Amino acid sequence: MIVIPAVDIKGGKCVRLWKGLKDRETIYDEDPLRAAARWAREPVKRIHIIDLDGAFEGRPRNMDKIIEIVRYLRDPGIECEIGGGVRTVETVREYADAGAARVVVGTIAAREPDLFRSMALSVPGIVNLGLDCRGEEVLVKGWEVAGGVKLFDLLASTADLPLGEVIYTEVERDGTGGGIADDWLRRVVAESPHPVIASGGVGSIDDIRQAKDAGAFGVIVGRALYTGDVDLAEALAMEA
């Protein structure tokens, strides 16, 4: 299992949202690059970068800042997975060409399955399926509306695609530190043909251990790192 620090960008700043609500933000750093550099001091393998403005508006809004981070992390050999507002094959390729290891796509997967298939096939192994859920309901457009498809139906319909991983987020827990959705995570791991990354609710080392025990390939940690509730060095020691 790998531990993946999160850098979410809104209004050009590094923030965390509570349950994904755009009016419930906490700013943790005025400079997202500085935030990423902070986590890069430890031997992390990957950093999760989300363009929140892009997610809400349906097109990339912080691409320059994101690509700056990708290039900064290239020398220490740290991978980046990028999401938020990815709605076209061209955007997937642009991020991939800039050096992104993974490009996260959620809304298109739920709403336009043929386009999602084209994205996944255009750069095999690069696209990650973003499963942002409230229970079994998949949410889209910055988690603001229902996607019209159920969690396990979407997993099944994308099973044959050359994806990198599946990122499963329980929206009601995201940014709360209230613990991961263990039962749901275990079901997703059991039914996904692709490695699963857990996201949402991590508030302690025990939550990371729980994700590992559930069989997750990785776990994304955001607010708990910024508040100090999780020590990154201690978390990384659990990867072995």
pLDDT single digits (tens) 155-214? 999 999 999 999 999 998 988 889 999 999 999 999 999 999 999 999 999 999 999 999
Residue 79, pLDDT above cutoff 90: yes
Predicted local distance difference test score (pLDDT) of residue 177? 87
Residue 55, pLDDT above cutoff 90: yes
Give the CA angle between residues 192, 16, 212 to the nearest 5°. 35
The full set of domain ranges for the chain reads 2-236
Q: What are the C-alpha distances in Å from 73 to residues 31, 35, 67, 77, 176?
A: 15, 12, 10, 6, 28
Q: Please confirm, yes or no, whether 8 is among the known catalytic residues.
A: yes
- Catalytic-labelled residue, pool 8, 53, 174, 207: 8
pLDDT digits (tens, 9 = 90+) for 104-130: 999 999 999 999 999 999 999 999 999
pTM of the model: 0.95
Q: How confident is the model at residue 41 (pLDDT cuts 50, 70, 90)?
A: very high
Predicted local distance difference test score (pLDDT) of residue 231? 97
Once rounded to an integer, what is the mean pLDDT over residues 6-15? 96
Secondary-structure class of domain 2-236 per CATH: alpha beta
- Catalytic-labelled residue, pool 53, 132, 174, 207: 132
Once rounded to an integer, what is the mean pLDDT over residues 80-88? 97
Residue 44, pLDDT above cutoff 90: yes
d(CA 191, CA 197): 13
Per-residue DSSP letters for 91-118? HHHHHHHHT-SEEEE-HHHHH-HHHHHH
State the Rg of the chain over Cα.
Answer: 16
Is residue 82 within a helix (H) or strand (E), and if so which, with residue range?
A: strand 79-83
Mean pLDDT of the chain: 95
d(CA 190, CA 188): 5
